Amino acid sequence: MYVDLGRKLKLDYVKVLFNRMWHGTNKLYVSDDAVHWTAVLSGNGAEYDYMKDKTATDGERQPNELGALLPEGTEGRYVRLTARDWANVYEWQVYSSQPIAAESILVRGPAKLEVVNGLSMKMNAEVQPSTATESSVTWSVYAKNGSPGAAVIDPATGLLTAKSPGIVTVEATAADGSGITGSTDVVILPEAEVWREIEMAFESGKSYGDPFLDVDVTATFTGPNGEVLTRPAFWDGGNTWKVRFAPTAPGKWKVTTVSNDIGDEGLNRTAPVAFTAVPYEGTLEIYKRGFLTTGENKRYFMYHDQTPFFYLGDTHWLMPDEEFESSNVDGIDSQFKYAVDHRVSQGYTVYQSEPLYANGIGLNVARGIQSDSLAKLADIDRKFQYVADAGLVHANAALTFHSVLNVTDPDLLQRLGRYWQARYGAYPVLWTTAQEVDPPVFNSDDKYWHFVAQGIHDSDSYKQPLTAHMAVVPTFETTWGDKPYHSWFAAQILTFTKELFASYMAFPIIKPIITYESAYEHNGVTSDKARTAPYIAFQNGSFGFGYGAQGVWAIQHSPDDWFHYGPYYRWFDGLQATAGSQMTYFKRFYSDMEWWKLTPVFSDTSYADFAADAQSFLSTIGNHTYVAYFADSSKKTGKLKRMGNTTYKAQWYNTRTGEYTLISDQVVPINGGVDRSREAGQARLDIAGRLGPIRRCTQAHGIQREQCDNDFYAAWQTSDDGESCRQRQDERRELERGQSGRLGYRSGFD
Q: What is the pLDDT of residues 570-598, one digit of tens each?
A: 999 999 999 999 999 999 999 999 999 99
Q: Where in the chain is the domain with CATH 3.20.20.80?
A: 287-591
- Reduced to 3 states, what is the DSSP secondary structure of residue 678? coil
User: CA-CA distance, 572 to 59, in Å (whole number)?
Assistant: 43
pLDDT at 749: 33
Given a cut of 60, whether residue 427 has pLDDT beyond it is: yes
Q: Which of 241-255, 394-408, 498-512 has the lowest mean pLDDT?
A: 394-408
Given a cut of 60, whether residue 656 has pLDDT beyond it is: yes
Given a cut of 80, whether residue 84 has pLDDT beyond it is: no
Residue 36 is classified by DSSP as S
Percentage of the chain exceeding pLDDT 70:
85
Q: Where in the chain is the domain with CATH 2.60.120.260?
A: 2-95
Question: How many residues are recorded in the chain?
Answer: 750
Higher pLDDT, 560 or 380: 380
pLDDT at 722: 29
User: CA-CA distance, 127 to 113, in Å (whole number)?
Assistant: 19
pLDDT at 708: 28
- Interstrand relation of 312-316 and 350-353 (parallel, antiparallel or unpaired): parallel
pTM, rounded to two decimals: 0.84
Residue type, 610: F
Q: Which of 336-340, 413-417, 475-479 has the lowest mean pLDDT?
A: 475-479
User: CA-CA distance, 153 to 657, in Å (whole number)?
Assistant: 57
- 8 A C-beta contact, residue 482 and residue 463: no
Q: If you average pLDDT over each of 5-14, 212-221, 435-444, which comes out highest? A: 212-221
Backbone angles phi and psi of 686, in degrees to 5:
-115, 130
User: CA-CA distance, 708 to 676, in Å (whole number)?
Assistant: 24
* CA distances to 343, 569, 614, 650 from 521, in Å: 15, 10, 22, 31
Question: Could you report the per-residue pLDDT of 484-512, keeping only the tens digit for each?
Answer: 999 999 999 999 999 999 999 999 999 99
Question: Could you report the per-residue pLDDT of 212-245, keeping only the tens digit for each?
Answer: 999 999 999 999 999 999 999 999 999 999 999 9
Name the pLDDT band for 59 (thresholds 50, 70, 90): low
Which stretches of 321-457 are assigned E, i.e. beta strand? 350-353, 393-397, 429-433
User: CA-CA distance, 657 to 750, in Å (whole number)?
Assistant: 8
User: CA-CA distance, 348 to 548, in Å (whole number)?
Assistant: 12
Q: Which of 61-70, 106-115, 546-555 has the lowest mean pLDDT?
A: 61-70
- Reduced to 3 states, what is the DSSP secondary structure of residue 474? coil
Which stretches of 260-307 are assigned E, i.e. beta strand? 269-278
- Reduced to 3 states, what is the DSSP secondary structure of residue 346? coil
Per DSSP, the residues of 1-25 read -EEEEEEEEE--EEEEEEEE--SSE
- Reduced to 3 states, what is the DSSP secondary structure of residue 413? helix
- 8 A C-beta contact, residue 441 and residue 471: yes
pLDDT at 701: 29
Name the pLDDT band for 729 (thresholds 50, 70, 90): very low
Q: List, in sequence order, every residue forming a beta bridge with 30; answer none if it has no partner.
A: 38, 79
Name the pLDDT band for 197 (thresholds 50, 70, 90): very high
Q: Which of 415-419, 620-624, 739-743 has the lowest mean pLDDT?
A: 739-743
C-alpha count within 13 angstroms, C-beta hemisphere, residue 67: 8
- 8 A C-beta contact, residue 301 and residue 309: yes
- Reduced to 3 states, what is the DSSP secondary structure of residue 302? strand
Q: With the C-alpha atoms ordered 162, 164, 167, 169, is the resulting torsion angle positive or negative?
A: negative
User: CA-CA distance, 603 to 625, in Å (whole number)?
Assistant: 18
pLDDT at 56: 59
Residue type, 47: E
Per DSSP, the residues of 594-614 read TGGG-EE-TT-TTTBGGGGST
pLDDT at 403: 76
Q: Which CATH superfamily is domain 287-591 in?
A: Glycosidases (3.20.20.80)
How would you classify residue 748: left for phi > 0, otherwise alpha for psi between -120 and 50, otherwise beta?
left
Mean pLDDT calculated for residue range 655-675: 83
Name the pLDDT band for 564 (thresholds 50, 70, 90): confident
pLDDT at 43: 67
CATH code of 2-95, in short, is 2.60.120.260
Q: If you average pLDDT over each of 48-52, 100-104, 689-693, which comes out highest? A: 100-104
pLDDT at 364: 87
C-alpha count within 13 angstroms, C-beta hemisphere, residue 741: 25
Helix (H) or strand (E) holding 316: strand 312-316
Question: Could you report the per-residue pLDDT of 324-380, keeping only the tens digit for each?
Answer: 999 999 999 999 999 999 999 999 999 999 998 887 778 889 999 999 999 999 999
pLDDT at 86: 66
Q: What is the largest CA-CA distance in the chain?
A: 107
Given a cut of 50, whether residue 670 has pLDDT beyond it is: yes
C-alpha count within 13 angstroms, C-beta hemisphere, residue 371: 8
Task: Provide the Cα torsion 699, 705, 708, 713; round to 10°.
Answer: 40
pLDDT at 13: 87
User: CA-CA distance, 718 to 715, in Å (whole number)?
Assistant: 10
Q: Which residues contact 434 (CB under 8 A, 6 or more apart)?
A: 397, 398, 399, 401, 402, 405, 449, 452, 468, 469
* CA distances to 436, 443, 444 from 402, in Å: 8, 11, 8
- Reduced to 3 states, what is the DSSP secondary structure of residue 659? strand
Name the pLDDT band for 608 (thresholds 50, 70, 90): very high
Letter string b/e over residues 583-604, b meaning 16 or more CB atoms within 10 A of that residue's CB:
bebbbebbeeeebbebebbbee
- Picking from 90, 127, 91, 85, the residue whose alpha carbon sits closest to that of residue 106 is 127
Question: Could you report the per-residue pLDDT of 706-725, keeping only the tens digit for each?
Answer: 222 222 223 322 223 322 23
Q: Which CATH number fits domain 104-278: 3.90.550.10, 2.60.40.10, 3.40.50.1000, 2.40.50.100?
A: 2.60.40.10
pLDDT at 92: 79
Name the pLDDT band for 62 (thresholds 50, 70, 90): low
What is the overall mean pLDDT for the chain? 86
User: CA-CA distance, 239 to 267, in Å (whole number)?
Assistant: 10
User: CA-CA distance, 459 to 447, in Å (whole number)?
Assistant: 19
C-alpha count within 13 angstroms, C-beta hemisphere, residue 317: 23
Neighbours of 426 (CB within 10 A): 27
pLDDT at 177: 92
Q: Which residues contact 263 (CB under 8 A, 6 or more apart)?
A: none
Question: Could you report the per-residue pLDDT of 302-326, keeping only the tens digit for each?
Answer: 999 999 999 999 999 999 999 999 9
Q: Where in the chain is the domain with CATH 2.60.40.10?
A: 104-278
- Reduced to 3 states, what is the DSSP secondary structure of residue 47? helix
pLDDT at 479: 92
User: CA-CA distance, 565 to 553, in Å (whole number)?
Assistant: 10
Residue type, 56: A
- Reduced to 3 states, what is the DSSP secondary structure of residue 463? coil
User: CA-CA distance, 62 to 488, in Å (whole number)?
Assistant: 44
Residue type, 741: G
Mean pLDDT calculated for residue range 628-645: 86
Residue type, 550: Q
Q: How far is CA 588 from the centre of its chain?
A: 23
Residue type, 712: F
Backbone angles phi and psi of 378, in degrees to 5:
-65, -35
